[in-house]
Amino acid sequence: MTDLLAFAKNKLGYEFADTQNLILALSHKSIGAKNNERLEFFGDSILSYVIAEILLETFPKANEGQLTRMRAHLVCKDTLTIVAKELEIDKHIILSNSETRTGGHQRSSILADALEAVMAAIHRDSSIGDIKRIIKQWFFSHIEKLKESDRCKDSKTQLQEYLQSFGEELPKYNVVRTTGPAHQQIFHVECKLGNSKIKFIGVADGRRKAEQMAAEEAYIYLKESKQKK
């Protein structure tokens, strides 16, 4: 118990009033009915809400699409697994003997779920203000990296900067057709890259949105083509 309290204080940055909350959060379903699944369910919602609020505060100029992409990156299993290991949750997860023997303490799904369960446990033990402060602390370095990454840039900017880095001419966008009634038009926009004959089409209920979608298709194609070489 002393080791668990020290772990909570020194690694998680929180001192539990009720240690049973932490024990439950670290208890994998392999040990029995009293496990962290319900806390993980709650923690998933807490994380999504808190990260959304932090991103709104940190990136005041980001649009909805950018915020959505950044949140998706921060709450994905890969990122949660990294954070869980940074906090050494893998060293304190409570598993059955068979799960331990098969390396369950290193399994991404188990660590990501445990991290979310710990968030819920802290919230139950304190308040939304406390868990927001702690999540911000846990994810600080990952949020800082977003400031320099493509994820906070829209697709047209990503594509333009990528082409410029290779000295290529900028893309051109053309509306190839519209469908639907005048008050509810659907735009079909083509993104053209230099002399390429490949067509990148975006379809959306607004010209700008369709341009972004076409740019995203072109950007993904170029990045994947580059990786194959």
Contact between 153 and 61 (Cβ < 8 Å): no
| Bridge partner residues of 190 (DSSP) | 174, 201
- 116 assigned to active site: yes
Alpha helices in 59-206 (DSSP H): 64-75, 77-86, 97-101, 108-125, 128-138, 140-146, 155-165
Residues 6+ apart with CB under 8 A from 226: none
| Bridge partner residues of 201 (DSSP) | 190
Contact between 42 and 120 (Cβ < 8 Å): yes
Catalytic hit among 113, 116, 125, 217: 116
Scan for tokens 């959060």, then name that residue: 25
Closest among 107, 108, 85, 86 to 98, alpha carbons compared: 107
Cα–Cα distance between 104 and 112 in angstroms, integer?
Answer: 12
- Just list the catalytic residues: 44, 116
